Amino acid sequence: GHPMGDRVLQEFVACCQDALRNDGLLARTGGEEFCILLPGTDLDTARHIAERIREQTQARRIAVPAQELRISASFGVAGLCDTDERFETLYSRADLALYAAKQQGRNRTSLLRSPAQEGVLATPVADSPRFGARRRRSSSTSMPRRAAMSCTWSSPIWPTTK
């Protein structure tokens, strides 16, 4: 019910806050979706932060009577480009990367390195589970120093035995 959903949200936010420390801004965009802004952060560092949050979320257990609940999270990571005039453009790319992560099996991080990738699925991250292919490198020599993540914790949450 609602109290358990609130508890899951609190646990997920705690994972995010622990991984972000004072380096980013976490905002709930609705339901179980969040956006994380990382000013002064390049894409590879943002990817590592997303993976750290994903791993912490997956390791977290929520005790309820007679069982434990586990949650997982998917992340889409994108960087701000010189041509971006509005936040919505960056957020849209991060959301596209999140959609790719969900399409690739959830509980993973997907990275959109450039707007040119928008027509194809975002690149999955090598550190994520069930990843088989190599990550593509961007041909650009200058990497953005501002990144954003769109993320969601996966539901339903599932019980495990204590």
Burial 37-72 (b: 16+ CB within 10 A, else e): bbeebbbebbbbbbbbbbbbbbebebeeeeeebebb
Query: Per DSSP, what are the bridge partners of residue 78?
Result: 112, 148
Whether omega for the bond prior to residue 156 falls within 30 degrees of 0, making it cis, is: yes
32 is catalytic: yes
Name the active-site residue from 32, 33, 68, 118: 32
**Catalytic residue positions, numbered:** 32
